[in-house]
Structure 1
Amino acid sequence: MSSGGEALRRRRVAAGWSQLELATRAGVGVRTLRDIERGHVRRPQRASLERLVAALPLADADRAELLAGFERAAPPWIGVLGPLAVRQGGVELDVGAAMPRALLGLLALHAGRPVPSDEIVDVLWEDRPPRTYDNLIHVYAGRLRAVLGTEAIRRTSAGHLLASAADCLDLAAFEALTARAGTLPDEPADDLAAALACWRGPVLAGSPGRLREHPIAVAAARTRVAAALAYADAASGAGPQVVAALWRVVHDEPLHEGLAARLMTALAEQGEQAAALRLYGEMRARLAAELGVEPGNELRRARERILTRPPEVPAGRQPERAVTVPAQLPAAVAAFTGRTAALRRLDGLLEGRRESAAIAVLTGTAGVGKTALAVH
């Protein structure tokens, strides 16, 4: 049992309350409270903890001490889905200079699996390792242990590994959510939305190129794109949440036409046709400038659907009054003359007709004046 969970249980028992009574007063599930007290949740939600502590008959100082116990007990959280980040109890931890940070980023990509020395050398120094590289790796690992805990970085016969719980790594959380969404074909949207929310930017943004281009990082980015596409398809018409999620992914994947097409559709469904068409123009210019190609079929079809469909009116917005667009003809010839016989035959087609339409076909070689006659 965790020290925070044990302290919460003691306070509850001292108040004479059952788990059901405290959970009801705090507005959280009994199962949530039971898991917290037993230490089954390594990183309890801050909002749930605050509601539980606030519901207990405690002085303010005791409440603060109880919350602090959870923060002290919580292991560090490590994020690689964006710039490398390490937090504990809501506080950002400084893991040192560029080399220790790069080592931690690499170990976090392999969390729970040993990373051999030759891979560490390749990422940290590429093809110019110093002669003392083995000792330097040991020094960097020691600096990380000083911040993360003595058991956080372990050295085995197969290499160094990060021994961090899965719920303390954003990459592990993302992988678990996308895997679970794949097992729920009927209702994947919630898990996909939560998976996409794990991302703060490109994998290990700001780290050395070898680390950003690591196969695990590239695979994670591809899975993110696949999750975004699946989320857009599963949550079609879900509103601003889809637009916001897609914007973040499109920002990091600026040349992916499938993402842009779905974002255009989502914008149009929110009544933002102008923004959707502006995005198409930006994509077209970007594709031409960086790849020398025109938009593909998926992107062009999305544009055509937006141009031909009636404007969507978002809920709560009054529809605008329809505007009649005149069907305008080309300008008439200023000095039209002749064609008396042809005009007489055309006028004859209208005699006796009041409601039914009359259709006539004008034929002739190019340049003989068919359009001028029709307009006149």
Structure 2
Amino acid sequence: MENSLGKIICDLRREARLSQRTLAERSGISLRTLREIEHGRVRRPHPSSLQRVALVLDDPRLSDALAGQVGDRTALGDGHHSLNLQVFGHLTLKLGPVELGLGTPMQRTLLGLLAIHANQVVACEEIVEVLWGDDPPNTFTQLIHTYVSRLRSLFNRQSDTLTQRPQVGYHRGGYELRIVSERLDLGVFNDLIQEAADARRCGDLTAEYDILAQALALPAGPLLEGAASGLREHRFAEEHRRGHLVAVLRFAQMESSLGHYEEAIAILRPLVPQYRLHEGLHAALMLAFAASGQQVAALDLYNGLVSRLRTQFGLEPSPDLRAAHMSVLRQNAARESLSLGAPAPAAIPHSLGDFVGREELYPVLRYLVGARSATPFGAAPIASLHGGPGVGKSALAIRVASRCLSRYPDGVLYVDGPVDAHPVLGCFLRELGVQAQDVPTSLAERIRLFRALLTHRRVLVVVDNMEREDVVRALVPTGFHTGMLITGRERFYAEGVRHFLIPAFTADQAYELLCRMIGISRVAAEPTAAQMIIERHDADPKSLRSVGLRLAAQTDLPLAELCGDPTASTTVRV
């Protein structure tokens, strides 16, 4: 029996084009044990070793031969292990630690196609297109049926519970792989990405970060690596790849925002060989390199991509990639400037942690980062934010300024509600490195020195809560690299100034602000009271923030108590 069994294993291994080492590794047994079994030198091979070999080779001839030694073929599976399918990396089906054979290349391709459409019906026409393209054989219907039957047999031979075992069903002219998400690595990944998206919508960035970390910690590799081109290039496979890359870029962005530049690099760099022409990936990695002090690596990465784009496609880099390149160059210039002792002031208030996203932020940001229109004061872009009291102009300006730091690496000069330009300019000059005894006494001389110092520097001047235009005019910088941001109830009138009206909060924005300050669960517990608070304060962010601070400090204070309605906590918000 042993000699006959060893010969069957040897023959099947050669038919499957597997070396002894490969079969031993997939079976989880030693190479020496496999050799002894094939040569018939083991009197009574251990049943578990034979079971593992049979699971990998997956052939009825071996199962029949083993029936007398290890019982019925349905016992080949280990009831303590689950059946799991992996599509990241090479397509793999495992029973516990044992990798199972998936049959012919066509059968593997069909399983891969069903897996990326898991729990969805795949039409027979689509199966034919992926398996054979434009030249299917006349017997394609029978061949598909044969492949499906073999997959069903493969799944059914395992002793996994019926409710958890993958199944292939026929439905309305197509086939469906029914599998719980926990048994498919792509399903686990997609579930986590959905949870992260939900956390982001709720404003819980900490939860989003933790969930993305879990998703990206899963064993992964290129999706369907080594599969047939028709499957690798399938639109669903491409969608999954894009989703994975978006998640990686988002997590790397969050790591960078926390100052974890080395971690961001470790996440992004392995993807470069797979996405050699992806400009967004390269831009993110360049910025992470530069932020960690590796300007040379950042510039080498940029030059390599630009060379490929120009040589292979005759294309120039995109605006986003060029902007990342300029940011790297400016950071390098700023580092050299700082090494020579030049100051980089950043006297800007801390950006609010509960800042609610505003669409108005992006046009202001784009203007300050990219504007180059000449004005009577030079080429500095000047943005004027105006709106009613309490609408959040200052919070928006501070957020914009904090996002502009890469464009203005020499620093930010900030003043709140100036009533006299003379002392403000004195403070600015000292922040720019002028010794106190060298600060001019007259206003005209201070203006002249201030503008001279900014001629070749990349500095953003922020004047918050403007009251007098004449004071602001004295603080306008000159030079081709500076910028200015002004907030006030009225517009700042000057040639070349771009005006941005900041409207009052919408009800949805006010609701989001309250959720961020006191927690979404607390707002959800008293929805009508929350709505009444928002309405009572006219969705005014300044007033709402005052209420939110009180509620955040008194965690046991009911929202209904602040709106004076004892029934508000039990009313459903619609």
Aligned partners of 1:240, 1:93: CA distance in 2, in Å?
Answer: 38
RMSD, aligned α-carbons = 3.0
Length-normalised TM-score, structure 1: 0.60
In structure 1, the partner of 2:145 is: 138
In the TM superposition, what whole-angstrom CA distance separates every residue of 1:219-256 from its partner, at most 9, and x where no partner exists? Answer: 11221222222222222122433212212333322211
Aligned partners of 2:294, 2:339: CA distance in 1, in Å?
Answer: 17
1:210 counterpart letter in structure 2: G
1:270 shift after superposition: 2.6
1:167 shift after superposition: 0.9
1:323 shift after superposition: 7.5
Specify every segment of 5 or more residues in structure 1 that has no aligned partner in the other structure, as ranges. 1-69, 314-320, 325-354, 357-376
Of stretches 172-181 and 156-165 in structure 1, the one that deviates more from structure 2 is 156-165
| Aligned positions of 1:1-376 closer than 5 A | 72-149=79-156, 152-158=166-172, 159-185=174-200, 186-187=205-206, 188-198=208-218, 200-236=220-256, 237-309=259-331
Does the CA-based 8 Å contact 2:286-2:324 persist in structure 1?
yes
The alpha-carbon distance between structure 1 residues 72 and 291, as it changes in their structure 2 partners (threshold 3 A), is: farther
1:128 shift after superposition: 1.8
1:155 shift after superposition: 3.0
Aligned partners of 1:125, 1:198: CA distance in 2, in Å?
Answer: 33
In the TM superposition, what whole-angstrom CA distance separates every residue of 1:12-55 from its partner, at most 9, and x where no partner exists? Answer: xxxxxxxxxxxxxxxxxxxxxxxxxxxxxxxxxxxxxxxxxxxx
The alpha-carbon distance between structure 1 residues 141 and 312, as it changes in their structure 2 partners (threshold 3 A), is: farther
Does the CA-based 8 Å contact 1:268-1:312 persist in structure 2?
no
SS in 1 for 2:94: strand
Length-normalised TM-score, structure 2: 0.40
In structure 2, the partner of 1:338 is: none
1:132 shift after superposition: 1.9
In the TM superposition, what whole-angstrom CA distance separates every residue of 1:192-240 from its partner, at most 9, and x where no partner exists? Answer: 2333344733321222222112221111122122222222222212243
1:73 shift after superposition: 3.1
1:111 counterpart letter in structure 2: A
In the TM superposition, what whole-angstrom CA distance separates every residue of 1:285-310 from its partner, at most 9, and x where no partner exists? Answer: 11112221122222222222222225
Of stretches 179-188 and 256-265 in structure 1, the one that deviates more from structure 2 is 179-188
Does the CA-based 8 Å contact 1:284-1:295 persist in structure 2?
yes
Aligned partners of 1:222, 1:259: CA distance in 2, in Å?
Answer: 12
The alpha-carbon distance between structure 1 residues 250 and 71, as it changes in their structure 2 partners (threshold 3 A), is: farther
Aligned partners of 1:85, 1:312: CA distance in 2, in Å?
Answer: 50
Does the CA-based 8 Å contact 2:189-2:215 persist in structure 1?
yes
SS in 2 for 1:87: strand
SS in 2 for 1:235: helix
Aligned partners of 1:125, 1:74: CA distance in 2, in Å?
Answer: 35
Q: Which has the higher contact order (CA 8 A, sep 6+)?
A: 1
Does the CA-based 8 Å contact 1:84-1:204 persist in structure 2?
yes
1:81 counterpart letter in structure 2: F
Aligned partners of 1:229, 1:190: CA distance in 2, in Å?
Answer: 15
Aligned partners of 2:340, 2:222: CA distance in 1, in Å?
Answer: 45
SS in 2 for 1:115: strand
As a proportion of its length, which structure holds more strand?
A: 2
1:71 shift after superposition: 6.5
The alpha-carbon distance between structure 1 residues 225 and 322, as it changes in their structure 2 partners (threshold 3 A), is: same
The alpha-carbon distance between structure 1 residues 183 and 136, as it changes in their structure 2 partners (threshold 3 A), is: same
Does the CA-based 8 Å contact 2:88-2:222 persist in structure 1?
yes
The alpha-carbon distance between structure 1 residues 238 and 72, as it changes in their structure 2 partners (threshold 3 A), is: farther
The alpha-carbon distance between structure 1 residues 104 and 277, as it changes in their structure 2 partners (threshold 3 A), is: same
SS in 1 for 2:122: coil
1:278 shift after superposition: 1.2
Specify every segment of 5 or more residues in structure 2 that has no aligned partner in the other structure, as ranges. 1-76, 158-164, 342-437, 441-574
Aligned partners of 1:270, 1:167: CA distance in 2, in Å?
Answer: 38
Aligned partners of 2:153, 2:262: CA distance in 1, in Å?
Answer: 43
Aligned partners of 2:340, 2:221: CA distance in 1, in Å?
Answer: 43
Percent of aligned positions with the same letter in both sequences? 38
Of stretches 163-172 and 80-89 in structure 1, the one that deviates more from structure 2 is 80-89
Aligned partners of 2:156, 2:333: CA distance in 1, in Å?
Answer: 57
Aligned partners of 1:275, 1:134: CA distance in 2, in Å?
Answer: 54
Does the CA-based 8 Å contact 2:295-2:332 persist in structure 1?
no
1:272 shift after superposition: 2.1
1:283 shift after superposition: 0.9
The alpha-carbon distance between structure 1 residues 194 and 286, as it changes in their structure 2 partners (threshold 3 A), is: farther
- List 4+ stretches of structure 1 deviating above 4 A: 310-313, 321-324
In the TM superposition, what whole-angstrom CA distance separates every residue of 1:138-160 from its partner, at most 9, and x where no partner exists? Answer: 22123323433356333323232
Aligned partners of 1:121, 1:299: CA distance in 2, in Å?
Answer: 41
Does the CA-based 8 Å contact 1:72-1:89 persist in structure 2?
no
Aligned partners of 1:301, 1:161: CA distance in 2, in Å?
Answer: 46
The alpha-carbon distance between structure 1 residues 155 and 322, as it changes in their structure 2 partners (threshold 3 A), is: closer
Does the CA-based 8 Å contact 1:264-1:280 persist in structure 2?
yes
The alpha-carbon distance between structure 1 residues 176 and 277, as it changes in their structure 2 partners (threshold 3 A), is: same
Does the CA-based 8 Å contact 2:118-2:176 persist in structure 1?
yes
Aligned partners of 1:282, 1:220: CA distance in 2, in Å?
Answer: 27
1:263 counterpart letter in structure 2: L
